[in-house]
Structure 1
Amino acid sequence: MSRILVVEDEKIIRQAVKRLLERQGHEIFEADSLHVAKELTFSDYDMIISDLRLPGGNGTELIELAGEVPVLIMTSYASLRSAVDAMKLGAVDYIAKPFDHEEMLLTVERILKQRNLSRTNEVLQHEIEKEYPVTGIIGSSQLMQNLFTKISKVAPTDATVLIQGESGTGKELVARALHTQSRRKDAPMISVNCAAIPESLIESELFGHEKGAFTGAATLRLGLVEAADGGTLFLDEIGELPLEAQARLLRVLQEGEIRRVGSVQSRKVDVRLIAATHRNLKELASKAEFREDLYYRLNVLELHLPPLRARGKDVIELAEFMLLRSCEKMNRSIMLLTDASRQAILQYQWPGNVRELENAIERAVILADGNDITPENMAIDFSPDQYVPQTLKENLLEPETTGSNEANQGDLSLDDYFMHFVLENEDGMNETDLARKLGVSRKCLWERRQRLGIPRKKATKSS
């Protein structure tokens, strides 16, 4: 039951609105003038319905006084101008008199539902921030508590941070937590996925270019590093950054300046760098595939983001939070995880980490018939070979000709076989041939490389 204030000078209309809404279970309060309404405490009501023209002034004057309480304006002047003016002043909606009863009921219910949802979100956000003070990152396990402690200590500084973790673990969320708890929180945070930008464009995107610097450079362009001046630059998948761009980035860290492509002048920038990767940069540096000096510049403080499978009952907390959020997003009534679903969530390994869990929950909310979420709704497959096509299994499990290899491979998983096959054959096969031999698509091959941390070998230039 909601408390609604009706402000209307015409008694017949006021009584009609009151009877209509009381039949829906709402508690209705009345005011016949602007002066009477202004004497009331608006926070006592869930909603205000006011006529546009009232004795003593306009009903729109109540909008500012009402604060967060939504105001629905009724007007006999069913013109676009009066409606737009009311909405500009902050009315949540307007309805023309004489109004249709069904339209009034639908409008009131929609406004009340939006207000309740807003209140729920505020309470939820408050509870999350109280329970998980690091910008809403959820996790009660000791691994996450240790991570929260490190974030709280390093965030207020300008130290460069390297975040390491598997794909889908929430590295960008950690970067945002570092930014929002820093002195730079009111400045921009610019996020860049280094793997998503073509190698030929990465330097121009990051550092900008002068007009005419190269074919197609028709105008001067500011780079993303310059756009983050005064704030935070987050470089995701920094292990994919080409060596030439790494040298320029090192200059930003050492000298605090950039030079646009095609320019002879350097420009000072004040940027805090946060980098993330799922790859072992130290190992890449030892192979000369990543600049060693840049690695040590990046690795001032290293944060390890654990995979979801290592976080114990955190996965249930995350699932329940995501379930509530998905229900609100899809305008569904509150849904619950069954005991079987909880057990399934705990047993599953979640190779796609938090991102995979979020997708599974959202899918379950869409497919569930009632208010209970079952394992079938989430489509969780407990087979350890769930992502491996039958052709791949047949190729990888084909017995070796040498007895020694047979003995050594007895305890290897399919991931081990995949890694061995790719590393042993990538010099003699291109990606298409590798994928065909393994019985998978090129996309599947790339995704599996990413998950297992097997970098694609860069093609060598023919002499």
Structure 2
Amino acid sequence: MLLKNTSILVVDDDVDVLTAMHMLLKSQVKEVETEKNPNNLISILQKKKFDLVILDMNFNSVVNTGNEGIYWLNKIKEVDKDIFVILITAYGDMDLAIKSLKNGASDFLVKPWKNEKLIESISEILKQRKSHGSKKWNPQVGGLKLLGESEVMKDVFFKINKIAPTDANILILGENGTGKDLIAKAIHDNSLRKNKPFIKVDVGALTSTLFESELFGHKKGAFTDAREDRIGRFEEADGGTLFLDEIGNISLQQQAKLLTVLQNRLVTPLGSNNPKPIDIRLICATNIGLEALADEANFRKDLIYRINTVEIIIPPLRDRDKDIELLAKHFVEVYAEKYLKSNVSAGASFFKKLRTYHFPGNVRELQYALERAVIMSDNDTLNDSDLVFSPIEKHKKVSDSSDLKLDTIEKNAILKVIEKNNGNISKSAKELGITRTALYRRLNKYGL
């Protein structure tokens, strides 16, 4: 009913886009008009009232700013500050899209868009206006509990609120232990796919054969142990979200296979010649920085562009001073309830010690340290002596070392852990918080 009373203006210099939009929307809304030349935009809006504008971000116009979409968005808002604007962007323009969202856009779509998702997005925007008497669409971070008051985390939450309702592919970057999996789940929980599956795969731990079988599925007899048909994780996630963790650790051969599926939106199970269409929203995560990923000796640039419509960088806990005490109080409450110690709370000396620590293991290390403190304490008030940090991370506290180079620190840490585990690579990788593949790469890097 909301759509039937809606007037929409579509502005794009691509005639094919205008035709497709008009054909899609004409039976759904009260009125849809199209315009190829953005220079006519303002005069059109001054003569006629529209509920929503669908605006391309790049035009071959006289506006020589490199970000025409932002220019025209601001012009639209000058005419009608309450009008909804949905931006259309190619995957390479996402920084501009985020900037535009901060300037008042309601949503963005990635070309090529899914028709049903566009209709759902428009309906959701209009529904929000009807429910709250406001035209601002501002979904809250939900699903799993995300805590943060620091400015860096506010920026992360802002991005989640804006990109979650879209179908944009997301690349989450951050050190081990920063909570990349929680961010991925929060994005899914606030998306239009929230009632569909959320499937997580640690691709960095998969061998070449397992990679294909796990992601694409297999037919009975496709290989020695294939005793029955099995659908892959892509098919499991159909209609929902597929989260590929440790994406930075997969081989070039695996990258090529993944890229083919993402480009064609088809998966072919091992042992089959019948490709199957898939509809997924892709979220990837890695602890490898974007600059390191861009080294084509290790990672394909065309795959980076495919998975990185928007990137979210999760800051390390040492850059989130305001959040440490907030998170600590939360974890103390959680574990006090879990271990039936409801009267337990943290004292001043406890928090003072927390503030002086650098948390190389990030939120994960903080969580484990507080769980141990609650379990081991015999008092209702936790003090500094109850706070013991994991020896796994102690090697990184090197303030008295004469050599503070990160490569040296990492190399020494690897040597110590491998020696401790008598050369067992699996145990060492687990203790270091990385995959075996990632550990082997570091061993090769340092000639160990």
TM-score over 0.5 for the pair? yes
1:145 is aligned to 154
Aligned-residue offset at 1:384: 12
- Which residue does 1:257 correspond to in 2? 266
Note if 1:163 corresponds to 2:148.
no
- Is 1:386 paired with 2:386? no
The amino acid that maps onto 2:302 is D
Question: Helix, strand or coil for the counterpart of 1:327?
Answer: helix
Map of 1:196 onto structure 2:
205
- State the Cα deviation string for residues 319-360 of structure 1 (Å, max 9, x = none): 101111111111112322111111111111111111111111
On the 8 A contact 1:344/1:380 being kept in 2, the answer is no
Structure 2 match to 1:366:
375
Q: CA offset at residue 416 of structure 1?
A: 3.9
Once the two structures are superposed, what CA deviation does each residue of 1:342-388 show, in whole Å capped at 9, x if it has no partner?
A: 1111111111111111111111111111210112212148x999337
Q: Secondary structure at the match of 1:286?
A: coil
* 2:294 equivalent to 1:303: no
The offset of 1:280, in angstroms, is: 2.6
Does residue 1:175 correspond to 2:184, yes or no?
Answer: yes
Residue 264 to residue 380, structure 1, CA distance change in 2 (3 Å): closer
What is the deviation of 1:279? Answer: 0.9
CA deviations on 1:252-308 (whole Å, 9 max, x unpaired) are: 322211111122121100000000000135424424212221011111100000111
1:343 maps to 352
The verdict on how the C-alpha distance between 1:377 and 1:420 changes in structure 2, with shifts beyond 3 A counting, is closer
| Correspondent of 1:270 among 273, 279, 284 | 279
The alignment covers a number of residue pairs equal to 302
Q: How far did residue 234 of structure 1 move?
A: 0.4
Q: Which amino acid aligns with 2:272?
A: S
1:440–1:247 distance in 2 versus 1, CA, 3 Å:
closer
**Larger RCO (CA within 8 A; separation ≥ 6):** 2
1:233 counterpart SS class:
strand
SS in 1 for 2:215: helix
User: Residue in 1 aligned with 2:408?
Assistant: 417
SS in 2 for 1:201: helix
For residue 412 of structure 1, report the CA deviation from its aligned partner: 2.5
Quick check: 1:240 aligned with 2:267?
no
* Cross-structure match for 2:125: none
Q: Name the SS for the 2:312 alignment partner.
A: strand
Mapped to 1, the partners of 2:415 and 2:366 lie a distance apart of 31
| Mean Cα deviation higher: 358-367 or 431-440 | 431-440
- The verdict on how the C-alpha distance between 1:183 and 1:384 changes in structure 2, with shifts beyond 3 A counting, is closer
Say if 1:281 and 1:290, in contact at 8 Å, map to a contact too. Answer: no
CA, structure 1 residues 385+293, in 2 after alignment: closer, same or farther (shift >3 Å)? closer
Change (3 A) 1:250 1:345: same
SS in 1 for 2:230: coil
| Deviant stretches of 4+, over 6 Å | 431-434, 437-441
Distance 1:438 1:329 in 2: 32
Deviation at 1:133, TM superposition (A): 3.9
Q: Does 1:356 align with 2:341?
A: no
Task: Note if 1:185 corresponds to 2:185.
Answer: no
State the one-letter code of the partner of 2:382. Answer: I
Kept in 2: contact 1:364–1:377 (CA 8 A): yes
Give the TM-score of the pair, scaled to structure 1: 0.59
CA change 1:177–1:257 in 2 (3 A) is same
Tell me the alpha carbon deviations over residues 413-462 of structure 1, each in whole angstroms, 9 at most, x when there is no partner.
Answer: 2744244679xxxxxxxx999945999875447755949x8761698xxx
Render the CA deviation track for 1:103-122: whole Å, top value 9, x for unaligned: xxxxxxxxxxxxxxxxxxxx
Consecutive unaligned residues of structure 1, counting only runs of 5 or more, are 1-131, 398-409, 423-430
Does 330-339 or 282-291 show the bigger shift? 282-291
Distance 2:433 2:392 in 1: 18
Looking at structure 2, the residues matched to 352 and 217 of structure 1 have their Cα atoms a distance apart, in angstroms, of 39
> Percent of aligned positions with the same letter in both sequences?
40
| Structure 1 residue 159, shift from structure 2 partner | 0.3
SS for the counterpart of 2:340 is coil
Q: Distance in 2 between matches of 1:304 and 1:189?
A: 21
Query: Quick one: distance in 2 between partners of 1:321 and 1:372?
Result: 15
Q: Which residue, out of 222, 238, 258, partners 2:231?
A: 222
Instruction: Give the whole-Å Cα distance in 1 for the aligned partners of 2:300 and 2:284.
Output: 14
**1-structure distance, mates of 2:187, 2:225:** 37
Flag the structure with larger Rg. 1
Cα distance change, pair 209–300 in 1 and its aligned pair in 2 (3 A) = same
Q: Does the Cα contact within 8 Å between 2:218 and 2:230 map onto a contact in 1?
A: yes
Provide the C-alpha distance between the structure 1 equivalents of 2:442 and 2:326, rounded to a whole number of angstroms: 40
The DSSP-based 3-state class of the residue aligned with 2:204 is: helix
Q: Which residue of 2 aligns with 1:50?
A: none
Partner of 2:441: 456
Q: How does 1:112-123 map to 2 (within 5 A)?
A: none
Question: Kindly tell me: are residues 233 and 384 of structure 1, through their superposed partners in 2, closer, same or farther at Cα, counting changes over 3 Å?
Answer: closer
Tell me, in whole angstroms, the C-alpha distance in 2 between the residues paired with 1:458 and 1:386.
Answer: 20
Please give the secondary structure, in 2, of the residue aligned with 1:235.
strand
Q: 1:444 to 1:457 in 2, by over 3 A?
A: closer
Aligned mates of 1:312, 1:294 — CA distance in 2: 35
Q: Distance in 1 between matches of 2:308 and 2:424?
A: 36
Structure 1 pair 197–440 and aligned structure 2 pair: CA distance change class (3 A): closer
Residue pair 1:193, 1:235 contacting (<8 A) in 2 also: yes
Mapped to 1, the partners of 2:352 and 2:416 lie a distance apart of 41
Q: Distance in 1 between matches of 2:423 and 2:218?
A: 40
- 1:181-235 residue CA offsets vs partner (Å, 9 max, x unmatched): 0000000100111133334311101100112212221211100111000000001
Which amino acid in 1 is paired with 2:250? L
Q: Supply the RMSD in Å over aligned alpha carbons.
A: 3.5
Structure 2 alignment gaps of length 5 or more: 1-139
Matched residue of 2:373: which SS?
helix
**Aligned match of 1:24:** none
**Aligned amino acid, residue 456 of structure 1:** R
Name the structure 1 match of 2:7.
none
CA distance in 1 between counterparts of 2:247 and 2:364 reads 20
